[in-house]
Amino acid sequence: MSIEKIPPWIRWAFLPVASPLTLVIVSIVATIGSKLLVFIGGERGWSENFYSYLLVPGISGYFAVMVTYVLAPNGKIKAAMVFALIWIAVCGYISFIFVASGQWKSLLFPISMTVGCALAVLGSRE
Amino acid sequence: MSERNSLIAFFIAFLVGVTIGYFHYLKIKPTDEQKTQLQIDRVIRTELCDRLVSDIARFKEAPHSFKRTSLTVLMGESRESAKALLPDLPDSHPIQFHGNQESLFSECPTNARQWVKISAVFPEFYEQEKAFVESKKAQGLSLPGFFGGLPITQKSTERRVALVIGNSAYTARPLKNPVNDAKDIAQFLRNTGFTVTELLDADLAKMRAAVDRFSLDLSNNDVGLIYYSGHGIEYKGRNYFVPVNASIQDEQEIPRQAFDATEILEKVGRFKSGAMILIVDACRNSPIFSKFRSAKVGLETMAVPNGMIVAFSASPGQIAGDGNGRNSPYTAALIKEAQIPSRKIEDILKETRRAVSDETSGRQVPWYNSSLVGDFYFLKN
């Protein structure tokens, strides 16, 4: 079933839900995948921290924005941009909280997610 | 919008988020006490992880002569190190980890997190580890991961169950420490293999239900332990634990509104097969109770069924202190003494008595009454 067959008003209504939902689902799937890769990679593979702090948030951010691009009936780039800005603002908020509470290593998480969101917008412009 | 403008927009959005975070943080900023505790937690976490990693390295170097350090001892050492690493903290400030068990190992490497899932009381499992490492070395194979195909967790050979009750939120005269005492005792018991039910600020119905459930669970276990911290009162020769919802206006209401400790002895008296431990850190003085003519200060002695040990934080007729730190003097001393491995419970209680008596200049002298058959150790090497 093509997404174009879904009435535009349903797609618009679902858009605010789709982005956070995609973030959650992709995070879960990516986390499971990363645990498998850590297990398979063993001591020589990348550490769990690489996946948790770098790859998973980046991928989740990317797809959370990409889903809005795909779902929006029109003005796709603007819709993707709006959601990217929202998620990046959330990352800014989280970054400050981490800095204020001294959890410097955890800063990788929001930075990685910011990059993922930005790449989704910049990539969708092409 | 050009790419450059997009990047500027992202940067501005990030800054907006940071600004919102700043103003929100001003509202949720931790107090100085919370900041200190976060710092303590961080240091304890780091020290513990370092010790675990060093334990693993020692095992890999010499599996034959390796002797595992129990998690409780490692925690004790980590806390001592934290004390040394935080010289600005006053001596009286308690050094305890306040986070949950998950966060305790969150920054440890993966192999250290797996390591702690093997309880220190399973020497037979440790033998399996040694055999596994030796067999892999003999085959000239590199270990795929530290634990290979071995199971991560094992069940204890001795099944232990505990009920921990801490009542602080009394309406008329709240106490500061019983909930902290209960939490810390519960954590210690979990580390020594107990399945713990924790009951905080309980009313009479919850206390009764919890004791009923506990006495049913006993039949499937080898060791049972009940710990109570909160107000206690003696009336007509019987000891009562006061629930948080008690509103005792007259001494005759005590049996109706408070929990009769003798009920515990009657219910667990049917438990024949193992050791039963009752630890009571109660009888904190309350003006509510002191106005009653026949309600004496202090708790009464209790007859102890076979196979049981009962420990009180103060002798009959004495008052137990609530303490100025996180824990009462009795519970703080008990946890400290109990962490030393290969110590029988009687010796732990004796040392606790000595420590509390010294600390209170003899005003509070804990006592215990034992009819245990055989020895019980919280931790055994």
Contacts of B145 in chain A (CB under 8 A): 39, 42-43
pLDDT confidence of residue B367: 87
Find the CB nearest A91 among B6, B17, B25: B17
Contact A91, B14 (CB under 8 A): yes
Tokens of B300: 């009464």
Contact B149, B142 (CB under 8 A): no
Average pLDDT, chain B: 78
3-state secondary structure of A96: helix
Partnered with residue B370 across adjacent β-strands are B309
pLDDT confidence of residue B121: 42
Pick the residue from chain A with its C-alpha nearest to B110: A48
Q: Cβ atoms within 10 A of the Cβ of B52, count?
A: 22
pLDDT confidence of residue B132: 53
Q: Does the distance separating the beta carbons of A101 and B38 come in below 8 Å? A: yes
- Whether residue A66 is predicted with pLDDT greater than 90 in this model: the reply is yes
Pick the residue from chain B with its C-alpha nearest to A113: B14
The model's pTM is 0.48
Tokens of A39: 């297990």
Of B381 and B18, the structure prediction assigns the larger pLDDT to: B18
The tokens 């997009």 sit on which residue?
A: B6
Any CB–CB contact under 8 A between B6 and chain A? yes
Ranges A97-106, B137-146, B173-182: which has the least confidence: B137-146
H or E stretch covering B276:
strand B275-281
pLDDT confidence of residue B144: 39
Contacts of A125 in chain B (CB under 8 A): 3, 6
pLDDT confidence of residue B153: 33
pLDDT confidence of residue B286: 54
Q: Work out the average pLDDT over B101-105.
A: 73
Task: Give the residue from A38, A43, A52, A83 with the most B CB atoms within 10 Å of its CB, the best one to mutate.
Answer: A43
Report how many Cβ contacts below 8 Å link chain A to chain B: 77
Q: What pLDDT band is residue A49 in, cutting at 50, 70 and 90? A: confident
Find the CB nearest A122 among B3, B13, B20: B3
d(CA A77, CA A70): 10
Q: Cβ atoms within 10 A of the Cβ of B363, count?
A: 14
Contact A92, A98 (CB under 8 A): no
Contacts of A112 in chain B (CB under 8 A): none
H or E stretch covering A20:
helix A8-41
At B220, which amino acid appears? N
Any CB–CB contact under 8 A between B21 and chain A? yes
Q: Does the distance separating the beta carbons of B29 and A100 come in below 8 Å? A: yes
pLDDT confidence of residue A79: 93
Contact B311, B338 (CB under 8 A): no
Contact B282, B232 (CB under 8 A): yes
pLDDT tens by residue, B26-72: 888 777 777 788 888 888 888 888 888 888 888 777 776 776 676 77
Average pLDDT, chain A: 89
d(CA B331, CA B337): 10
From the CA of B144, how many Å to the nearest CA of chain A?
Answer: 6
Q: Work out the average pLDDT over B9-15.
A: 94
d(CA A89, CA A104): 18
Any CB–CB contact under 8 A between B17 and chain A? yes
Any CB–CB contact under 8 A between B25 and chain A? yes
CA dihedral of A85, A89, A95, A96, whole degrees rounded to 10: 150
Q: Work out the average pLDDT over B252-277.
A: 79
Q: How do beta strands B232-235 and B238-241 pair?
A: antiparallel
Most trustworthy range by pLDDT among A105-114, B133-142, B147-156: A105-114
Any CB–CB contact under 8 A between B20 and chain A? yes
Exposed/middle/buried for A31, CB within 10 Å: 0-12, 13-18, 19+? middle
Contacts of B29 in chain A (CB under 8 A): 100
- Whether residue B18 is predicted with pLDDT greater than 90 in this model: the reply is yes
Tokens of B16: 């907006």
From the CA of A1, how many Å to the nearest CA of chain B?
Answer: 32
d(CA B277, CA B368): 10
- Whether residue B298 is predicted with pLDDT greater than 80 in this model: the reply is no
Q: Which residues of A touch B (CB under 8 A)?
A: 38-39, 42-43, 47-48, 77, 81, 84-86, 88-97, 100-102, 114, 117-118, 121-122, 125
d(CA A119, CA B317): 73
- Whether residue B226 is predicted with pLDDT greater than 70 in this model: the reply is yes
From the CA of B23, how many Å to the nearest CA of chain A?
Answer: 10
Q: What pLDDT band is residue A47 in, cutting at 50, 70 and 90? A: confident
Q: Work out the average pLDDT over B334-343.
A: 84
d(CA B51, CA B53): 5
Measure Cα distances from A54 to A44, A89, B37, B121, B271 in Å: 18, 18, 29, 38, 54
Q: How do beta strands B160-166 and B194-200 pair?
A: parallel
Greatest extent of chain B over all pairs of C-alpha atoms, in Å? 86
**Residue-by-residue DSSP string for B169-192:** --SSS--SSHHHHHHHHHHHHHHT
pLDDT confidence of residue B139: 54
Of B101 and B351, the structure prediction assigns the larger pLDDT to: B351
d(CA B229, CA B200): 10
Q: Give this complex's ipTM.
A: 0.88
Of A20 and B247, the structure prediction assigns the larger pLDDT to: A20
Exposed/middle/buried for B67, CB within 10 Å: 0-12, 13-18, 19+? exposed
pLDDT confidence of residue B147: 35
Pick the residue from chain B with its C-alpha nearest to A95: B18
pLDDT confidence of residue B136: 55
pLDDT confidence of residue A118: 93
Helix, strand, coil percentages for chain A (3-state, nearest 5): 85, 0, 15
d(CA B373, CA A58): 61
Contacts of B144 in chain A (CB under 8 A): 42
Q: Does the distance separating the beta carbons of B17 and A92 come in below 8 Å? A: yes
Task: Give the residue from B18, B29, B110, B152 with the most A CB atoms within 10 Å of its CB, the best one to mutate.
Answer: B18
Measure Cα distances from B295 to B275, B289, B302, B306, B366 in Å: 32, 7, 16, 29, 20
